[in-house]
Structures are given as C-alpha cells and as structure tokens.
A = this chain, B = another copy of it.
C-alpha cells in the first residue's frame, strides 16, 4: 500500500472511527520514502508529534529516522481546531472559520515551499469542515483545500470522517471533490474492509476487501472477498 498512487493525485481516505486512517497516511509516506526515496509531509491535527511518532514506530515505521534523513516532516496543524469563531485581523473582525481555513492553507504552503515534498498527508480535514454545517459553505472550503494541494504537484492523501455507518448513506461532498476515494469501514462482525470507490485515471478493483492492523501496519487481504 505504500506505492501505486498516480503522481499528483488528491486521494480522500474516508473512514469510520478505529479504521486506521492515520496508519494509512503513515504507510503512504513511509512507503514512498523507503521504496522510492520520496519526501513526505504529514499535516497533523489530532495528536502531538511525539505521540504520533511513538505509535507509528510501534507499527514498524521509524518516521523519526526518516526525518533525520530529510525524508519526512511533521507539521503541527492542531491550531485549526482551536481558533475561536471570532477573531481580529488588525482592527477588522474576522470570522474564526475563515481564519481557520486560511491558516491551514498557509501552513501547508509554507511547509511545501520549505520541503518540496513528493507526498503530503492531511489528517484530518474534519476538524476544518465541521465548522461549516451548511453544504453550500462546506463545498467551497473543501474545494479551496483540494486546489491548494493540487497546486503543490505532490501526491496527496487527506482523511475525513464518515458521518454514518451502514451500506446506504448520504454521500459527502469531499467524495466528489477528491480525485480518488478510499473507504474504510467496520462491518457488524468486527471485520474492517477497504474499498477503492474512485480513482480517476486508474483502472481499479472496486471490491471491498478485508484488512487487518498487524504489528507492521495495515495488511489488505486482497485475495478475500467480504460482503454483508
């Protein structure tokens, strides 16, 4: 799972709680660095850097070592979650929400200018987009983010939270705005499945496949089929 992405694509990883979205991002960056020598940035909103590195190391990915080699950077974007809804830029009151978006885009741009990455992972966009409850507001925010990522030329993953369990569900706008969509679900029986819903410009296997999280990360059981 570390290779095989089309260069310059923006892929959404949409998953339920506990399906390993963060591990998925790490394998994408770690795999790219180890197998292709590609530089990666992790834009993290959920955990402090030390905790993140520790957890990934426990899964066999030594990102700290890659960081020393200049192959990996961790960018802390947890501010996005905490910016108040009302702020001031000079004397002008500015909605915290817009500031949240602008901040994140600036943070990404800065890191990109400095590192010139081949791969970027944003984990997760939910903290940003949940600020915009109305669909007509949420859609352009996602679009701005997607286009900023696209302009970097890097291959990008962004994770997002699934709004409901079950097979029949409301489609989320980020599924339409990303160029690829990977869906991570937890079936009733406790089996996790991965399904590539969309991958523009690639032929793909769209069957849901079971996977397990092992000592060395996510392993897809690609020969097996699983339906509910």
Interface residues of A (CB under 8 A from B): 16-18, 54-55, 58, 81-82, 126-127, 130-136, 139-140, 143, 161-171, 173, 175-176, 181, 186, 188-192, 195-201, 203, 205-208, 213-215, 225, 227-228
Q: Chain B residues near A163 (CB, 8 Å)?
A: 170-171
Q: Complex Cα distance A147/B169, Å?
A: 31
B165 and A171: CB pair below 8 A? yes
CB distance from A208 to the nearest CB of B (A): 6
A18 and B197: CB pair below 8 A? yes
Closest chain B residue to A169 by CB distance? Answer: B165
Could you write out 5 A-B pairs with CB less than 8 Å apart? A17-B175, A82-B143, A131-B136, A189-B225, A190-B195
Q: Complex Cα distance A126/B140, Å?
A: 12
Q: Chain B residues near A205 (CB, 8 Å)?
A: 190
Q: Complex Cα distance A139/B140, Å?
A: 21
A215 and B203: CB pair below 8 A? yes
Q: Complex Cα distance A131/B134, Å?
A: 10
Q: How many copies does the complex hold?
A: 6
Select one of B82, B140, B225 contacting A82, CB under 8 A.
B140
Q: Complex Cα distance A199/B190, Å?
A: 13
Q: Complex Cα distance A131/B228, Å?
A: 36
Q: Complex Cα distance A197/B139, Å?
A: 28
CB distance from A18 to the nearest CB of B (A): 3
If A55-B201, A170-B163, A201-B55 touch, does A206 touch B190 (CB 8 Å cutoff)?
yes
If A136-B133, A176-B161, A189-B207 touch, does A199 touch B81 (CB 8 Å cutoff)?
no
CB distance from A100 to the nearest CB of B (A): 11
From A18, A54, A140, A169, name the one whose CB has the most chain B CB atoms within 10 angstroms.
A18
Q: Complex Cα distance A83/B162, Å?
A: 29
Closest chain B residue to A174 by CB distance? Answer: B17
Closest chain B residue to A21 by CB distance? Answer: B176
From A58, A126, A130, A162, name the one whose CB has the most chain B CB atoms within 10 angstroms.
A130
CB distance from A189 to the nearest CB of B (A): 6
